[in-house]
A = this chain, B = another copy of it.
Amino acid sequence: MQRVGFRLQIRPEMADEYARRHAEVWPDMLQALRETGWTNYSIYLDRADGTLFGYLETPDLEAAKAGMATREVNARWQADMAPFFLALDGKNPDEGFLLLEEVFHLN
Contacts and interface: CB of A to CB of B under 8 A. Distances in A.
Nearest to A20: B103
A101 B42 contact: no
B41 A100 contact: no
A76 interface: no
A34 B100 CA distance: 24
Interface in A79-105: 98, 100-105
Return the 8 tightest CB-CB contacts between A and B, nearest first.
A5-B44, A44-B100, A43-B104, A22-B104, A41-B106, A53-B53, A19-B103, A55-B55
Interface of A: 3, 5, 7, 18-19, 22-23, 25, 30, 33-34, 38-47, 51, 53, 55, 98, 100-107
